Structure 1
Amino acid sequence: MIEISLGKLMLLALVALIVLGPEKLPHAARTAGALVRRLRSGWDSVRAEVERELEIEELKRTAREAAAKAEAMQTEMNKAARETREQVSSTVTDVRNEVQSNVAEVKKEITQVDAPKESEHGNA
Protein backbone atom coordinates (compact mmCIF):
# COMPACT_ATOMS: atom_id res chain seq x y z
CA MET A 1 0.00 0.00 0.00
CA ILE A 2 0.92 3.64 -0.07
CA GLU A 3 3.07 4.69 2.86
CA ILE A 4 2.27 8.16 4.31
CA SER A 5 4.36 9.46 7.16
CA LEU A 6 2.86 11.52 10.01
CA GLY A 7 4.48 14.71 8.69
CA LYS A 8 2.98 14.20 5.22
CA LEU A 9 -0.41 13.46 6.75
CA MET A 10 -0.29 16.68 8.80
CA LEU A 11 0.71 18.69 5.70
CA LEU A 12 -2.14 17.11 3.73
CA ALA A 13 -4.63 17.95 6.53
CA LEU A 14 -3.41 21.56 6.63
CA VAL A 15 -3.74 21.95 2.85
CA ALA A 16 -7.23 20.39 2.98
CA LEU A 17 -8.26 22.76 5.77
CA ILE A 18 -7.01 25.76 3.80
CA VAL A 19 -8.55 24.64 0.48
CA LEU A 20 -11.87 23.29 1.74
CA GLY A 21 -12.38 25.36 4.82
CA PRO A 22 -13.57 24.21 8.23
CA GLU A 23 -17.20 23.67 7.08
CA LYS A 24 -16.50 21.25 4.19
CA LEU A 25 -13.51 19.46 5.73
CA PRO A 26 -15.49 16.94 7.88
CA HIS A 27 -17.67 15.97 4.90
CA ALA A 28 -14.60 15.61 2.65
CA ALA A 29 -12.85 13.50 5.31
CA ARG A 30 -15.89 11.18 5.56
CA THR A 31 -16.04 10.91 1.77
CA ALA A 32 -12.29 10.21 1.58
CA GLY A 33 -12.61 7.62 4.36
CA ALA A 34 -15.48 5.89 2.56
CA LEU A 35 -13.49 5.91 -0.66
CA VAL A 36 -10.45 4.41 1.08
CA ARG A 37 -12.67 1.72 2.67
CA ARG A 38 -14.18 0.86 -0.72
CA LEU A 39 -10.74 0.72 -2.32
CA ARG A 40 -9.39 -1.46 0.46
CA SER A 41 -12.46 -3.73 0.32
CA GLY A 42 -12.12 -4.02 -3.45
CA TRP A 43 -8.43 -4.74 -3.15
CA ASP A 44 -9.08 -7.40 -0.50
CA SER A 45 -11.76 -8.93 -2.71
CA VAL A 46 -9.44 -9.04 -5.72
CA ARG A 47 -6.64 -10.50 -3.61
CA ALA A 48 -8.98 -13.17 -2.18
CA GLU A 49 -10.21 -14.03 -5.70
CA VAL A 50 -6.63 -14.34 -6.99
CA GLU A 51 -5.73 -16.56 -4.02
CA ARG A 52 -8.78 -18.78 -4.72
CA GLU A 53 -7.79 -19.02 -8.39
CA LEU A 54 -4.24 -19.97 -7.41
CA GLU A 55 -5.58 -22.63 -5.04
CA ILE A 56 -7.85 -23.96 -7.79
CA GLU A 57 -4.94 -24.10 -10.22
CA GLU A 58 -2.86 -25.91 -7.61
CA LEU A 59 -5.68 -28.43 -7.07
CA LYS A 60 -6.02 -28.91 -10.83
CA ARG A 61 -2.28 -29.48 -11.17
CA THR A 62 -2.33 -31.96 -8.29
CA ALA A 63 -5.31 -33.75 -9.85
CA ARG A 64 -3.54 -33.95 -13.22
CA GLU A 65 -0.43 -35.37 -11.56
CA ALA A 66 -2.52 -37.91 -9.63
CA ALA A 67 -4.36 -38.90 -12.82
CA ALA A 68 -1.04 -39.37 -14.65
CA LYS A 69 0.30 -41.52 -11.81
CA ALA A 70 -2.91 -43.56 -11.75
CA GLU A 71 -2.69 -44.08 -15.50
CA ALA A 72 0.92 -45.18 -15.21
CA MET A 73 0.00 -47.60 -12.43
CA GLN A 74 -2.90 -48.94 -14.53
CA THR A 75 -0.52 -49.52 -17.43
CA GLU A 76 1.90 -51.36 -15.12
CA MET A 77 -0.95 -53.45 -13.69
CA ASN A 78 -2.16 -54.35 -17.19
CA LYS A 79 1.38 -55.34 -18.20
CA ALA A 80 1.83 -57.46 -15.07
CA ALA A 81 -1.56 -59.13 -15.62
CA ARG A 82 -0.70 -59.87 -19.26
CA GLU A 83 2.69 -61.34 -18.29
CA THR A 84 1.05 -63.45 -15.57
CA ARG A 85 -1.58 -64.76 -18.01
CA GLU A 86 1.19 -65.64 -20.48
CA GLN A 87 3.18 -67.45 -17.78
CA VAL A 88 0.12 -69.36 -16.59
CA SER A 89 -0.80 -70.28 -20.16
CA SER A 90 2.76 -71.48 -20.81
CA THR A 91 2.76 -73.50 -17.59
CA VAL A 92 -0.62 -75.04 -18.43
CA THR A 93 0.68 -76.01 -21.87
CA ASP A 94 3.83 -77.53 -20.36
CA VAL A 95 1.82 -79.47 -17.76
CA ARG A 96 -0.67 -80.65 -20.41
CA ASN A 97 2.19 -81.87 -22.64
CA GLU A 98 3.84 -83.62 -19.70
CA VAL A 99 0.58 -85.29 -18.68
CA GLN A 100 -0.09 -86.42 -22.25
CA SER A 101 3.44 -87.79 -22.47
CA ASN A 102 3.01 -89.63 -19.16
CA VAL A 103 -0.38 -90.99 -20.25
CA ALA A 104 1.15 -92.25 -23.50
CA GLU A 105 3.95 -93.95 -21.57
CA VAL A 106 1.50 -95.53 -19.13
CA LYS A 107 -0.66 -96.79 -22.03
CA LYS A 108 2.44 -98.23 -23.66
CA GLU A 109 3.43 -99.96 -20.43
CA ILE A 110 -0.11 -101.30 -19.97
CA THR A 111 -0.08 -102.60 -23.52
CA GLN A 112 3.26 -104.30 -22.91
CA VAL A 113 2.07 -105.85 -19.66
CA ASP A 114 -1.20 -107.05 -21.22
CA ALA A 115 0.50 -108.47 -24.33
CA PRO A 116 2.28 -111.36 -22.53
CA LYS A 117 -0.92 -112.24 -20.68
CA GLU A 118 -2.86 -112.46 -23.94
CA SER A 119 -0.23 -114.69 -25.48
CA GLU A 120 -0.37 -116.96 -22.41
CA HIS A 121 -4.15 -117.17 -22.67
CA GLY A 122 -3.96 -117.77 -26.36
CA ASN A 123 -1.46 -120.66 -25.90
CA ALA A 124 -3.43 -122.31 -23.20
Structure 2
Amino acid sequence: MIDFGFDKMAIIGAVALIVIGPEKLPRVARTVGHLLGKARRYVADVKAEVNRSIELEELQKMKTQFETAARDVESSVTQEVNAASAAFNEIGKGLQDATSGLDSVGLSGDSGGNAWAPVPEYKRPNKKWRLKRSAVPRWYKQRAGVRLHTQSGAARVARFRPPGLKR
Protein backbone atom coordinates (compact mmCIF):
# COMPACT_ATOMS: atom_id res chain seq x y z
CA MET A 1 0.00 0.00 0.00
CA ILE A 2 0.95 3.63 0.01
CA ASP A 3 3.42 4.49 2.74
CA PHE A 4 2.67 7.76 4.49
CA GLY A 5 5.32 9.06 6.84
CA PHE A 6 5.04 11.89 9.33
CA ASP A 7 6.56 14.42 6.95
CA LYS A 8 4.11 13.57 4.13
CA MET A 9 1.16 13.77 6.52
CA ALA A 10 2.34 17.20 7.74
CA ILE A 11 2.58 18.50 4.16
CA ILE A 12 -0.90 17.15 3.30
CA GLY A 13 -2.31 18.75 6.47
CA ALA A 14 -0.75 22.15 5.67
CA VAL A 15 -2.10 22.08 2.10
CA ALA A 16 -5.55 21.05 3.37
CA LEU A 17 -5.51 23.89 5.94
CA ILE A 18 -4.74 26.41 3.21
CA VAL A 19 -7.17 25.02 0.59
CA ILE A 20 -10.14 24.09 2.81
CA GLY A 21 -9.78 26.65 5.54
CA PRO A 22 -9.71 26.36 9.31
CA GLU A 23 -13.54 26.42 9.69
CA LYS A 24 -14.31 23.40 7.50
CA LEU A 25 -11.13 21.37 8.21
CA PRO A 26 -12.43 19.47 11.31
CA ARG A 27 -15.60 18.39 9.50
CA VAL A 28 -13.65 17.28 6.42
CA ALA A 29 -11.12 15.41 8.57
CA ARG A 30 -13.98 13.62 10.38
CA THR A 31 -15.57 12.66 7.04
CA VAL A 32 -12.24 11.42 5.67
CA GLY A 33 -11.74 9.39 8.87
CA HIS A 34 -15.17 7.76 8.47
CA LEU A 35 -14.48 6.96 4.83
CA LEU A 36 -11.10 5.44 5.66
CA GLY A 37 -12.72 3.34 8.42
CA LYS A 38 -15.35 2.09 5.99
CA ALA A 39 -12.66 1.28 3.42
CA ARG A 40 -10.64 -0.69 6.02
CA ARG A 41 -13.74 -2.63 7.13
CA TYR A 42 -14.58 -3.41 3.51
CA VAL A 43 -11.04 -4.66 2.84
CA ALA A 44 -11.15 -6.76 6.05
CA ASP A 45 -14.52 -8.26 4.97
CA VAL A 46 -13.12 -9.12 1.53
CA LYS A 47 -10.07 -10.76 3.13
CA ALA A 48 -12.29 -12.75 5.49
CA GLU A 49 -14.49 -13.90 2.59
CA VAL A 50 -11.45 -15.00 0.57
CA ASN A 51 -10.09 -16.91 3.59
CA ARG A 52 -13.49 -18.57 4.11
CA SER A 53 -13.66 -19.65 0.48
CA ILE A 54 -10.12 -21.06 0.66
CA GLU A 55 -10.98 -22.97 3.86
CA LEU A 56 -14.19 -24.23 2.23
CA GLU A 57 -12.24 -25.56 -0.75
CA GLU A 58 -9.78 -27.29 1.60
CA LEU A 59 -12.64 -28.82 3.55
CA GLN A 60 -14.25 -30.06 0.35
CA LYS A 61 -10.97 -31.67 -0.70
CA MET A 62 -10.67 -33.34 2.71
CA LYS A 63 -14.29 -34.51 2.43
CA THR A 64 -13.66 -36.15 -0.93
CA GLN A 65 -10.50 -37.81 0.44
CA PHE A 66 -12.40 -39.18 3.44
CA GLU A 67 -15.25 -40.39 1.22
CA THR A 68 -12.85 -42.25 -1.06
CA ALA A 69 -11.06 -43.75 1.93
CA ALA A 70 -14.41 -44.83 3.42
CA ARG A 71 -15.45 -46.41 0.11
CA ASP A 72 -12.14 -48.27 -0.09
CA VAL A 73 -12.53 -49.57 3.46
CA GLU A 74 -16.13 -50.56 2.78
CA SER A 75 -15.19 -52.45 -0.37
CA SER A 76 -12.31 -54.26 1.36
CA VAL A 77 -14.57 -55.22 4.28
CA THR A 78 -17.28 -56.53 1.97
CA GLN A 79 -14.70 -58.55 0.03
CA GLU A 80 -13.38 -60.07 3.25
CA VAL A 81 -16.91 -60.83 4.50
CA ASN A 82 -17.83 -62.45 1.21
CA ALA A 83 -14.66 -64.55 1.27
CA ALA A 84 -15.32 -65.62 4.87
CA SER A 85 -18.97 -66.49 4.16
CA ALA A 86 -17.90 -68.55 1.14
CA ALA A 87 -15.40 -70.43 3.32
CA PHE A 88 -18.07 -71.04 5.99
CA ASN A 89 -20.51 -72.29 3.35
CA GLU A 90 -17.90 -74.75 2.06
CA ILE A 91 -17.25 -75.98 5.61
CA GLY A 92 -20.99 -76.28 6.20
CA LYS A 93 -21.46 -78.28 3.00
CA GLY A 94 -18.57 -80.54 4.00
CA LEU A 95 -20.12 -81.14 7.42
CA GLN A 96 -23.55 -81.69 5.89
CA ASP A 97 -22.09 -84.26 3.52
CA ALA A 98 -20.32 -85.94 6.44
CA THR A 99 -23.52 -86.04 8.55
CA SER A 100 -25.57 -87.34 5.62
CA GLY A 101 -23.05 -90.17 5.29
CA LEU A 102 -23.51 -90.95 8.99
CA ASP A 103 -27.28 -90.90 8.61
CA SER A 104 -27.12 -93.48 5.85
CA VAL A 105 -24.95 -95.72 8.05
CA GLY A 106 -27.24 -95.17 11.05
CA LEU A 107 -24.66 -93.73 13.42
CA SER A 108 -26.27 -90.34 13.81
CA GLY A 109 -28.68 -89.53 16.61
CA ASP A 110 -31.04 -87.76 14.20
CA SER A 111 -33.98 -89.55 12.79
CA GLY A 112 -33.05 -88.53 9.26
CA GLY A 113 -33.61 -84.79 9.96
CA ASN A 114 -31.59 -81.94 8.56
CA ALA A 115 -28.41 -81.28 10.58
CA TRP A 116 -28.55 -77.59 9.62
CA ALA A 117 -32.11 -76.80 10.69
CA PRO A 118 -32.80 -73.07 11.02
CA VAL A 119 -32.73 -71.67 14.53
CA PRO A 120 -36.15 -70.38 15.58
CA GLU A 121 -36.43 -66.61 15.82
CA TYR A 122 -36.20 -65.09 19.31
CA LYS A 123 -39.53 -64.04 20.75
CA ARG A 124 -39.66 -61.81 23.81
CA PRO A 125 -41.57 -63.36 26.69
CA ASN A 126 -44.91 -61.72 27.30
CA LYS A 127 -44.30 -60.26 30.74
CA LYS A 128 -46.21 -57.40 32.21
CA TRP A 129 -43.13 -55.40 33.13
CA ARG A 130 -45.07 -52.26 33.94
CA LEU A 131 -46.72 -54.03 36.84
CA LYS A 132 -43.34 -55.03 38.26
CA ARG A 133 -42.04 -51.60 39.22
CA SER A 134 -40.00 -52.71 42.18
CA ALA A 135 -39.12 -55.73 44.23
CA VAL A 136 -40.90 -54.43 47.34
CA PRO A 137 -44.65 -55.14 47.34
CA ARG A 138 -47.04 -52.22 47.43
CA TRP A 139 -48.81 -53.40 50.59
CA TYR A 140 -45.46 -53.46 52.43
CA LYS A 141 -44.69 -49.91 51.33
CA GLN A 142 -48.11 -48.74 52.57
CA ARG A 143 -47.62 -50.42 55.93
CA ALA A 144 -44.12 -48.96 56.30
CA GLY A 145 -45.30 -45.45 55.38
CA VAL A 146 -43.25 -45.09 52.22
CA ARG A 147 -44.68 -42.53 49.80
CA LEU A 148 -46.08 -44.19 46.70
CA HIS A 149 -46.73 -40.98 44.78
CA THR A 150 -44.72 -37.79 44.97
CA GLN A 151 -46.44 -34.53 45.73
CA SER A 152 -45.28 -30.98 45.24
CA GLY A 153 -44.68 -28.83 48.28
CA ALA A 154 -47.74 -26.67 47.62
CA ALA A 155 -50.00 -29.72 47.28
CA ARG A 156 -48.63 -31.18 50.52
CA VAL A 157 -49.26 -27.91 52.39
CA ALA A 158 -52.79 -27.71 50.99
CA ARG A 159 -53.43 -31.31 51.98
CA PHE A 160 -52.41 -30.87 55.61
CA ARG A 161 -53.85 -27.37 56.08
CA PRO A 162 -56.58 -27.27 58.73
CA PRO A 163 -60.05 -27.04 57.24
CA GLY A 164 -60.85 -23.66 58.82
CA LEU A 165 -57.85 -21.87 57.27
CA LYS A 166 -58.71 -21.85 53.58
CA ARG A 167 -57.70 -19.04 51.34
Amino acid at match of 1:36: L
Q: Which has the higher contact order (CA 8 A, sep 6+)?
A: 1
Please state if 1:17 is matched with 2:27.
Answer: no
How far apart are residue 55 of structure 1 and its match?
Answer: 2.3
Amino acid at match of 1:64: T
Q: Which has the higher helix share?
A: 1
Alpha carbon RMSD of aligned pairs, Å?
A: 2.0
Answer with 88-97 or 24-33: which moved more: 88-97
How far apart are residue 103 of structure 1 and its match?
Answer: 4.8
Deviations 1:75-114 (A, max 9, x none): 111101110111111112222233344555668xxxxxxx
Instruction: Name the residue aligned to 1:94.
Output: 94
Structure 1 ranges of 4+ moved more than 6 A: none
Answer with 34-43 or 17-26: which moved more: 17-26
Amino acid at match of 2:9: L
Which sections of structure 1, spanning at least 5 residues, go unmatched? Answer: 108-124
- Provide the C-alpha distance between the structure 2 equivalents of 1:94 and 1:34, rounded to a whole number of angstroms: 88
Normalised by the length of structure 1, the TM-score is 0.73
Which sections of structure 2, spanning at least 5 residues, go unmatched? Answer: 108-167
Instruction: Name the residue aligned to 1:28.
Output: 28
How far apart are residue 31 of structure 1 and its match?
Answer: 1.2
- Provide the C-alpha distance between the structure 1 equivalents of 2:90 and 2:65, rounded to a whole number of angstroms: 37
